[in-house]
Amino acid sequence: MLLIGTHISAAGGVARAFSRADALGCEAMQIFTRNQLQWQSRPVLLEEARGFYDAWQKSGIKCVVSHASYLINIASSDAEVLEKSRRALRDETERCYQLGINDIVLHPGFAKDGAPENALKTVSESLQLLFEETPGCKVRILLETMAGQGSALGGDLSHFSVIGDMLHWNRRLAFCIDTCHAFAAGYDMRSPESYERFISLIDKHIGTDNVYCWHVNDCKSIKGSRLDRHAHLGEGQIGHQAFSLLMNDERFDGVPAILETPKDGIGDEGNLAFLRKVRGQ
Ligand SMILES: [Zn+2]
Ligand SMILES: [Zn+2]
């Protein structure tokens, strides 16, 4: 069974996220360890790391993942953006190492004018550099599947196998599958048969063992629309069954299933209740 969780605000300090997640009955959570809309971040202070550990120990949270800043584009063909992105990702890796977080979810990026082949090579070089610059650190980078709009990488699972091959399947490279993004990118998962086909494609391109996080979101837009519009579970185009199949899929035992559904309407409470209901069914 997967662990149930959602994206939790770390406003007022990262340690505060635990009590918010506990209040919702989460088993896992995703946070931003810093203001994700700024390039600059300050280092983690020792007291802050200690407070984070203490709060974690007292909480029911089994797994924490970080989502990297949306500004980061390690595929960029612009030298300055690329340099800033690589530095920001290294900072985030160090922050997570200090906080005891093992996994960072990262959008693979985009190359405005370049061919995807070049952009994928740049992503691989950026990650290679990161792994070399942070030796002894086990923090993984989870590249996230995207809706495939415009020049964004990661709409096609084959992009990830190209990167994996270039990095010789380094143990620090792993993946996050977003159900809404994958569906918008054209992958079906609505029936038991299409779900199984989808998982076998994941296995073929990246290996199910390399999936360390799921983003569980329904999708407002139709399959293959390439439009990234998250919906409440069961209320979008993906519907009920895919989430029920996923939540009970033993190939992903212990992997966090993180909600990034809208905060309006049934909100986190409603979507978490949906996950609890379908899990074990
Ligand atoms: Zn994301
Ligand atoms: Zn999205």
Place of tokens 């890796």: 93
Contact 65, 103 (CB under 8 A): yes
Query: What pLDDT sits at residue 230?
Result: 98
Q: What is the DSSP secondary structure assignment for residue 276, as one 8-state letter? A: H
| Type and span of the H or E element at 150 | none
Contact 26, 276 (CB under 8 A): no
| Type and span of the H or E element at 28 | strand 28-31
Q: Residue 105 Cα, ligand 1 centroid: separation in angstroms?
A: 7
Residue positions counted in the chain: 281
Q: Residue 195 Cα, ligand 2 centroid: separation in angstroms?
A: 20
Count the neighbouring beta carbons within 10 Å of the beta carbon of residue 221: 18
Query: What pLDDT sits at residue 112?
Result: 79
Number of structural domains, the chain?
1
Q: Residue 260 Cα, ligand 1 centroid: separation in angstroms?
A: 9
Ligand nearest to the CA of 105: 1
Q: Residue 8 Cα, ligand 1 centroid: separation in angstroms?
A: 14
Q: What is the pTM of this model?
A: 0.97
Rounded to the nearest 5°, which phi and psi values hold at 141?
Answer: -105, 120
What is the full per-residue pLDDT of the chain (281 aa) written as tens digits?
999 999 999 999 999 999 999 999 999 999 999 988 889 888 899 999 999 999 999 999 999 999 999 999 999 999 999 999 999 999 999 999 999 999 999 999 998 777 899 999 999 999 999 999 999 999 999 999 999 999 999 999 999 999 999 999 999 999 999 999 999 999 999 999 999 999 999 999 999 999 999 999 999 999 999 999 999 999 999 999 999 999 999 999 999 999 999 999 999 999 999 999 999 86
Give the E-state strand segments of 155-244 in sequence order: 173-178, 211-216, 218-219, 230-231
Show Cβ contacts of residue 151 under 8 Å, excluding neighbours closer than 6 positions: 110, 111, 112, 114, 116, 119
CATH number at residue 251: 3.20.20.150
Ligand nearest to the CA of 228: 2
Contact 149, 186 (CB under 8 A): no
Query: What pLDDT sits at residue 189?
Result: 98
Q: What is the DSSP secondary structure assignment for residue 243, as one 8-state letter? A: H
Q: Residue 20 Cα, ligand 2 centroid: separation in angstroms?
A: 22
Q: Residue 54 Cα, ligand 2 centroid: separation in angstroms?
A: 32
Q: What is the domain range of residue 9? A: 3-278
Residue 150 CA, distance from chain mean position: 20
